[in-house]
Structure 1
């Protein structure tokens, strides 16, 4: 029997990021001609690979714990002729020795560096070279969620899980950065991401209702959909281009 598909087969990026925004981010970050790129929680490393393609002399390191995603990243690097300039490492980012780098990417992966954005930002400040840049993709509440909403999100969801956007920028500055560029994922980007995340699974469930794995697969898909339709318009994602403040 055909097994359930992976839940991200239609995704280019593992987050609400459009091609238009990705292109703009790559152009902006590549303009600084980074020599070294460090991607924390890289997954398949799509954004890092695009940056290496845009900056021919740059080298990159991607760190993640998902062996399958890392393997797909290596395959993509090989296919694009970038393999000699990039390493995908299956290891924890906590206390990583792979820095400081000219450009650090941490998009939707701050949990790999600490228990909250303040701790993650302190780690990012240590990982980026003076004069470099950090691209941080970080969640924030667009408004404070209600108790009922929190109960339908991820397990243990709490209002303290994220700050508001002004609070996030305050944390950025307190950690020793200045926000060069602040932008947030649009509702269209969120809907495209969340729909693509579940699309193959939904089609498979429609075509295999009696499969032995269908019930558990259906429960997982329904839980995820309920969560995202609950945080739709409540949880935001900020893409922050950060400049480290040079120590005096």
Structure 2
């Protein structure tokens, strides 16, 4: 069964927003780009297309996603400028880089229950002075109710995420200034969540006796309905304060 073929990005990110982000990041003329928890690295590849002098490294532990990234790089003539590596980001020595991407992957940098603060300190270490960090991080649009938390991921707690204001304060405390702050829209979330399951839903319609797949899809849909409009995604372009 194929999965995720409807998704361009592994997160609630539209093509229009991605284009604007890439233009802003490429204007800083990065020569080295590091993508933490890169998945198939679509934004990394778009940055390399927008910054022809740059070379990129994407690290992740999902071999299937990394293989997709390598195929995409080959198809776009970027294979000579990017490496997709199967390794942990924890305490990585891959930096410092002129641009560090970390989209929905702060947990790759920390074992903490709420990894944001520790991840931000790691990102400051991994970015060059004068460079940029693009952090994609979940936040609460509003405090979740106990009923909503009970329907989300297993063990969901109110302190799993911060508010947007608290997230920005943490970034400043970690040694950054926020150059640009933007958040995913509900249509971006709906495109992502629908696309995340679409291939499997179509397959299940033709294989209705696949109870394990059905249970998994129904469970995820119920979780989505519990955090829909409650869980947000912030895209923060951060400038490191020079030492």
Q: TM-score, normalized by length of structure 2?
A: 0.97
Q: Which residue is 1:57 aligned to?
A: 53
1:5: which partner in 2?
Answer: 2
Q: What does 1:1-248 correspond to in 2, within 5 Å?
A: 4-6=1-3, 8-114=4-110, 115=112, 116-210=115-209, 214-247=210-243
Aligned residues: 240
Alpha-carbon deviation of 1:5?
Answer: 3.4
Q: For residue 232 of structure 1, report the CA deviation from its aligned partner.
A: 0.5
CA distance, structure 1, for counterparts of residue 204 and residue 90 of structure 2:
38
- 1:139 counterpart SS class: strand
Whole-angstrom CA distance in 2 between matches of 1:32 and 1:208: 50
TM-superposed CA distance for 1:151, in Å, is 0.9
TM-score, with length taken from structure 1: 0.96
3-state secondary structure, aligned to 1:172 = helix
Counterparts of 2:140 and 2:186 in 1: how far apart (Å)?
A: 14
* Structure 2: tracts of 5 or more residues without a match: none
Q: Deviations over 1:43-84 (max 9, x none)?
A: 000000011011111000000000010011011111111111
